[in-house]
Amino acid sequence: MARKKPVDPVLVVGLGRFGAALAETLVGLGHEVLAVDGDPKRVQYWSSRLTSVVEADSTSEEALRQLGAADFTRAVVAIGADMEASILTTAVLVDLGIEHIWAKAMTQAHGRILERVGATRVVFPEHDMGGRVAHMVTGRMVDYVELDETFALVETVAPQDLVGKTLGESRVRDEHGVTVVCVKPSGGSFTYATAATHVSTGDLLVVAGEREAAERFAKLL
């Protein structure tokens, strides 16, 4: 019987709320995860939930080398409040030759330093989630994903002026500057949208477009 090939192993450094949630989700998606943290209590707690959990000083190149960190092509530095450890760990992973390094930043200045020492991508979980929730709280949006500074995906309840028509009849792109990507009828599942898709009361629409246009569309009554 052929042995199943492991899915893209990932090194995760830091098992705080962000790192632990990330590592647990990766395992659920079928990835092998090597998680590293300096807190023995965290290591013990997560040892039965993740592929492999090790207590180690992530700022030590020798310690990470002994763990086989250099064999990974993907790593996430999920260290939060300790900016010095975050920066030093990122620098060590760069020196080990890891190709893709994602690093969590607490501030813009922290993020700039991480980029300068070699992080492939810097993420701001608290800031990003705060902005996402703010959009959802203040309007009819069900979900909001900003793809870059100018473009967004918005999930929203179908506005009344689309109800009872097909998307082709509504001319959504011409009238509102957004494209309806998919539609979820009440009690149904998402399907790809076409010009023939009929919109009913309570349908959920996922639209893509320039951020301001997408936000305006979600505010339609």
Q: Taking the complete model, does pTM exceed 0.75, yes or no?
A: no
Residue where a domain terminates, one of 62, 93, 123: 123
Ordered per-residue pLDDT tens for the chain, 221 residues? 333 444 689 999 999 989 999 999 999 888 999 999 999 999 999 998 898 999 999 999 999 999 999 999 999 999 978 999 999 999 999 999 999 999 999 888 999 999 999 999 998 887 666 565 655 555 566 777 777 778 888 888 898 889 999 999 999 999 999 999 999 998 889 999 999 999 999 899 999 999 889 888 888 86
What per-residue confidence (pLDDT) applies to 187? 83
CATH of the domain at 35: 3.40.50.720
Note whether 96 and 55 are same-domain residues. Answer: yes
Note whether 99 and 180 are same-domain residues. Answer: no
- Pairing relation of β-strands 74-77 and 7-13? parallel
Note whether 19 and 110 are same-domain residues. Answer: yes
108 domain residue, yes or no: yes
Whole-number Å distance between alpha carbons of 123 and 127: 9
Q: Which domain holds residue 48?
A: 7-123
Note whether 102 and 176 are same-domain residues. Answer: no
